[in-house]
Structures are given as structure tokens and as C-alpha cells.
Amino acid sequence: MKTFLLSLHSEYYKTRKTLAFWGAIVLPVFLCTVVFIGYYIKADDVMKKLAKVPPIAIWGQYSFAIVGVMGTLLLPMYLVFMTYSVNNIEHKADTWKSLFSLPIPKWKIYYSKALYTVLLITLSMLLFVGLTLAYGYILGWLKPQLTLQNADMAKVTSYLAVIYLKMFLASLGIISIQFLMSLVWKDFLKPMGIGFLLLVTAMIVLKWEYSYLIPFTHPIKALMSSSGKEVEILTKEVWVSFAYAAVFFTAGYFIVIKKSVK
């Protein structure tokens, strides 16, 4: 356990000055800030359209401006980018051979890297929740006409937390597939190209009854199935995402154990 934690620490130490780490922070900060600025400037216009809407629904509108863009458009490509960035540090420096010649079991190197990637995406999701709430709170204070300050914050927080948790769980399948491709291939075009093709395919077949079997549909489906008062977390696309993650993270282990480092 200790060497596993040390591997995680080492991953953080070497990525902390790279886009792999900052990517997890930049995206939520950028997106949430843009939406905040938009609502700040257009507060009166927003309220003209939503004059009689309760504060909780205004929160819904405001947070969907972020989560909608994130979940439908950005998240899958963001996952492609993040999984590649973590592995690219080793590809770029040609350090796989030195990592795998250390007296550390190969599975620890593999799983600490995979877990670190998952943790970065967790950090990103947490920042989305935190920044959405913080900016919303500031908006309520700066633009009282938005009535955001009148909502039940406990409800808003739990709703946002559940949605992002569900999106995160629905992303695990994509993470596992993209992580494996990025680990095996040095060339960014391969995981990026295949990831992009899978995403386009997912968009085309989104309404097909078995489309939940395609991992790139999972974040969108997770978001689509989150409307309503009670959000069910473990919907079928989340279960399929778990299954993909189990299969691909295990396959990655066997590939790493058997693979020669050239």
C-alpha cells in the first residue's frame, strides 16, 4: 500500500507543472467563469424571461449552462485529452523503460497511473460543483434580481453533487478505454482519432435503443436521465460504464504485465 501511495505522490510531483494536472483545473475555472460573466452581464435579460420562476429553477438554468456544455460537448473529448496527457509525460520523455526497470511491481505502476488519472477527473468534477456553487452565490449577492440567494442551498448542493457524481461514474468506461489506448500508443492521433470516431458514432446512434452499450453515449445519457426531482444515480448506462471500466482496466493490467518495453 505504501509503495502504491508513493507512486501516486510521484505521479503528482512530476505532473504538477504540466497541462495534465492543470487541465483538471483550467477547464472548470474557465467554463464556470465564462458562464458567471454571462449571467452577470445579462442578469436583467435572464430575469425578463424567467420572471415568475422559483429560485431553485433559476439555479437549474444557471447550472445547466455549465453542466450542459460540459456533459454533452466537452466531457468526452476532455477525457480523451486527460488520459493522454498523463501517459504522454512518459512517452515524451521516453521514461517507460526506466519506470519499468525500477524494483516496483508493474501492476503498481499501471494502477497508480490509472488511479491518478481518475483522481484528476474527480478533482475536475469537484471543482465544477464548487465553482458553480461559489459563482452562483456571488451572483446572488451581486445581482439580487436573479433571486439565486433565495434558494435552499442544501438542495442545490446535493442536486449538483449528484449530477456530477453520476456524470463521473458514467465517464469511467471512456476513461478506461482511452487510458489503455494512450498507454499503448505514443502517437496522440490514434487515441484521439478513435475517441473522436467513437464520440461521433455515439452522437449518431444516441436515440437507438441499445446505444447505452456505447461508452461515449454514457455521460450524455447520464445527464439526460438526470431531469426530474429525484435523480437516480445507478441507471443502466452507469452500470455499463462500470462494466467497461472493469474490463478495460483489467485488460490494461494484463497488457502491461505481458508487454515488452521497446
Partner 1 sequence: MQELIIQTKNLNFNFAQQKVLNQLSLEVPKGGIYGFLGPNGSGKTTTIKLLLNLLKSDEKNIFLFGKELQENRTEILKKIGSLVEQPAIYPHLTGYENLKTRALLLQVSKSKINKILDIVGLTDAANKKSEKYSLGMKQRLGIGLALLDDPELLILDEPTNGLDPNGIIEIRHLIKDLAANHQKTIFISSHLLAEIERIATHVGIINKGKMLFQGNIHELHSLKTSLICIETNDNEAAQSILKSKYPSLSLNGHLEIPFESLEQMGFINHHLIQNDLIVYSIYKQKKDLESLFLDITNA
Which parts of this chain interact with partner 1 (CB under 8 A)?
3, 6-7, 9-10, 13-14, 17-18, 89, 92-95, 97-105, 258-262
In whole angstroms, give the CA distance from residue 51 to residue 210. Answer: 40
Residue for grid cell 475517441: 195
Helical ranges in 94-217 per DSSP H: 96-99, 106-142, 153-184, 189-204
* Closer Cβ to partner 1, 236 or 259, answer by number: 259
Residue closer to partner 1 by CB (options 1, 260) is 260
Residue carrying C-alpha cell 477525457 = 79
d(Cα 260, Cα 80) in Å, to the nearest integer?
A: 25
Provide, rounded to whole angstroms, the least separation between the CB of residue 217 and partner 1.
36
User: CB–CB of 237/225 below 8 Å?
Assistant: yes
In angstroms, what is the minimal distance from the CB of 110 to partner 1?
14
Q: Which of residues 10 and 157 has its CB atom nearest to partner 1 in the complex?
A: 10
Please report how close the Cβ of residue 20 comes to partner 1 at its closest, in angstroms: 10
CB of 247 to partner 1, least distance (A): 23
Contact between residue 135 and residue 36 where contact means Cβ atoms under 8 Å apart: yes
Which lies closer to partner 1 via its Cβ, residue 33 or residue 98? Answer: 98
Residue number, 200 or 257, with CB nearest to partner 1: 257
What is the nearest approach in angstroms of partner 1 to the Cβ of residue 49? 47
Question: What are the DSSP calls for 11-58, one per residue?
Answer: HHHHHTTSHHHHHHHHHHHHHHHHHHHHHHHTHHHHHHHTTT--HHHH
Q: How far apart are CA 21 and CA 11, in angstroms?
A: 10
